[in-house]
Amino acid sequence: MGRCYILSTRCRLFGVARYEKYHVCYGGEEEERKAHYSDMVNKYYDLVTSFYEFGWGESFHFAHRWKGESLRESIKRHEHFLALQLGLKPGQKVLDVGCGIGGPLREIARFSSTSITGLNNNEYQITRGKELNRVAGVDKTCNFVKADFMKMPFPDNSFDAVYAIEATCHAPDAYGCYKEIYRVLKPGQCFAAYEWCMTDSFDPNNQEHQKIKAEIEIGDGLPDIRLTGKCLEALKQAGFEVIWERDLAADSPLPWYLPLDKSHFSLSSFRLTAVGRFFTKNMVRALEFVGLAPKGSQRVQDFLEKAAEGLVAGGKKEIFTPMYFFLARKPH
C-alpha cells in the first residue's frame, strides 16, 4: 500500500471513548454535541482521516456521477463544477472552508489558476495537507490556516470567492457559520457549497428515519443534520442573495451512495465496496491484535461501517443528501 495509512492512524482507546461519549446510544444530547462541536469534530478527524484517505483518496466527498464514469473522475468533475459556478478567474484569492487534507483545494487551484487558503481546525489534517501541497507543487500559491470556521481569523472582505464541500455540516449553527463566511467575502462575490442535509422526505416522528440520521451523525462527526430548508433560511438570514439551489443527488444518473452499497461491486472504488471493507476490517483487526495498529482502530472501523450503512439507507429512502448545492452572492 506504500505508506500504510492504517498504521499512521492516531486513534487510541482514550480518543475513541472521548469521541463516542458525544453519541451515547446513537445520539446522546444534541445540545451537548453542539456546545462541544469543535472538540467532537477534532476527535473525529484525528480518528478517521487515515481511514478516509485509504478509502477515498485525497478528496473526502460524494459526487454527481454519470454512467461509465469512475468515482475518481466524478469527484474531480464535481469539484470543477463548483469552480465554474463560482466563476473563478486566475489570480483570485479563494477560501476553502473545512478543507480536509486539501484534495479539492489542489484540484480547484490547478483547474482555475487561483490561490486558495484552506481553513481547518484539525492539526493532523493540516500537516498532511501541507505535505501533499508540496508534492503537488501548489505550496507557493495555496496554504492552510488552523482555525474554527465559526470564528475566522481574517479581516472583513478578504476573499474573491468562498466554497465549502460537505464541511459546514459540522457547524453547530448554520447561520453563525454562514454569517462568518459573509463577513470575509468581498461584496458582489459568491459563496457555493455542497451541504449534507435531511430532505423534505425525512419524518422526525419515524423511528427508522431517526435511527438512520443518528447512524450518520455518529459515523461522520456531526452535531446534527439540518433540513435543506433550514440551510436556505440561514443563508438569507446571514444576508446572502441565493442565486440558485438544488439537491443535485436527485439529478445523478447513478446513485451517489453506490460506492458504499453492499450490493454493488466496482474495481475503481474497491476499497469502499463490501468486499474491500471486509478486507480492511479484518486487516485492521489482525494488525491491532499483533500490536502494529493502535488500540481502538477496530472500534473506529466499526463506527465507520455503521455510518456507511446509515448513508446507504438514507440515500435509498431519499431522506438524506450529501449534495444539496447552493450558489449565493453577497450584495454590493
Domains of the chain with CATH codes: 1-332 (3.40.50.150)
Q: Which long-range contacts (CB under 8 A, 24 or more apart) does 242-246 make?
A: 242/326, 242/327, 242/328, 243/190, 243/327, 243/328, 243/329, 244/326, 244/327, 245/324, 245/325, 245/326, 245/327, 246/324, 246/325, 246/326
Among 52, 73, 56, 317, residue whose Cα is nearest residue 211? 317
Count Cβ atoms below 10 Å from residue 274 Cβ, excluding itself. Answer: 14
pLDDT at 8 over 90: no
pLDDT at 19 over 60: no
- Least confident range of 158-162, 217-221, 243-247, 267-271: 267-271
In this structure, the dihedral spanned by the alpha carbons of residues 327, 100, 295 and 211, taken in order and rounded to 10 degrees, is 0
User: Confidence class of residue 154 from pLDDT cuts 50, 70 and 90?
Assistant: very high
Element (H, E) at 317: none
Question: What is residue 79's predicted lDDT score, i.e. its pLDDT?
Answer: 98
Quick check: 185 and 162 in contact, CB under 8 A?
yes
pLDDT at 10 over 50: no
Average pLDDT over every residue of 283-297? 59
Among 112, 234, 115, residue whose Cα is nearest residue 168? 234
Q: What average pLDDT does the chain have?
A: 84
Question: What is residue 306's predicted lDDT score, i.e. its pLDDT?
Answer: 81
Average pLDDT over every residue of 123-135? 95
